[in-house]
Amino acid sequence: MTSVQRKIIHCDCDCFYASVEMRDNPSLRELPLAIGGQADQRGVVATCNYVARKFGIRSAMPTSQALQRCPDLIVMPPTMEKYRIASRQILAIYRDYTDLVEPLSLDEAFLDVSMSSQHQGSATRIAQEIRSRIANEVGITASAGVAPNKFLAKIASDWNKPDGMYVILPDQVTAFVATLPVARLFGVGKVTAAKLQQLGVVSCEDLLSWSLPDLLQQFGKLGSRLYSLCRGIDERPVQPSAIRKSVSVEETYAHDLPDLAACLNELPLLYDSLSKQVERTKTQHQIHKLNIKIRFKDFKQTTVECRADGLDKEKFRELITNGYQRRQLPVRLLGLGIGLEEKKVTQQLDLFSF
């Protein structure tokens, strides 16, 4: 019995939030546009259009810094319900081609079309039609990557952005991966990339000469992943459902909270917000941990957690007190969260519950 060659598509909408806003107001298309928080409220850029990116603006950049780079930047607050509606439309399009759809966010997903009979099973033609339908039915553009596995499909979708597509055929995998910088490998962050460079490893081709035992010795479990990925191997399946592991809320303050008393004064609002999130996600009976996050004025961050079988405002009060004592500095961000007992989680999650 021969195994079926996997055909994976990774679809990623181009600057999704900004694209929806430009769709609804075409006059914004030629102007630098960012979606995010306001500079005077310590906001950050959620996404920006490609006009803004020419100024070096990027996601997660403080809005104040973005405005320094581009004083004419238009900053709009996100309108999440509008984005969710567009996302539902896009998800419905994906599911016309396969049930194996793994959403990664509102605007990004993996599709396994290995068994699809549409377009005579051509993943390339399916991806082309999906992109065309998103443009015609939703009014925004999407880029796509087609490859034999998730790792390569995700890289391919970024290859011809925006509004592009790239296909990696099975017999092209070895040559394609050899030229990739190791920094593009899934799981390789700045620290690991720097360590690899110190070891003389810059490209995946450099990594091929390393044995699995040597990689395990240098990088632990990550070594096994590096060994496979530099050979273009990724056996992860497309998973149409996901398991929620936590629920949390947080608030970044326009003005630092000066002391512990000020932090505790914020607890009722945060607790109420978290309670609503827990109720909405129906996770009341899955709680096994409570946790808090504090980011201080100097951007140093601490977390504290404890075991619990339900929400408890007094325990959160104790956790905040313990966390604050670690640095005793003004606080710019406070967060409350719960950890969930994985073995009790059986429901399939809706994409829009995140």
Q: Mind telling me the catalytic residues?
A: 108
259: tokens are 């002391």
Cβ contact 39:155 at 8 Å: no
Distance CA 244, CA 343 (A): 11
Distance CA 89, CA 27 (A): 24
Q: What is the dihedral of CA 163, 168, 174, 175, to 10 degrees?
A: -60
User: Who's near 143: CB < 8 A, 6+ residues apart?
Assistant: 11, 12, 13, 14, 131, 157, 158, 160, 161, 162, 163, 164, 165
Helix (H, G, I), strand (E, B) or coil at 13: strand
β partners of residue 102: 110
Is 107 among the annotated ligand-binding positions? yes
CA distance to 108, 125, 161, 162, 248, per residue, from 143 (Å) = 10, 14, 6, 6, 31
Distance CA 293, CA 319 (A): 9
Is 309 among the annotated ligand-binding positions? no
Strands 8-13 and 108-112: antiparallel
124: tokens are 């390339």
Nearest of 309, 275, 307 to residue 291 by alpha carbon: 307
Helices (H), 220-308: 221-229, 260-265, 267-281
Containing 315, the helix (H) or strand (E) segment is helix 313-325
Helices (H), 134-242: 150-157, 173-178, 190-198, 204-207, 212-219, 221-229
Distance CA 297, CA 329 (A): 7
Which residue ranges make up the annotated binding site? 12, 107
Which residue ranges make up the annotated binding site for Mg(2+)? 12, 107
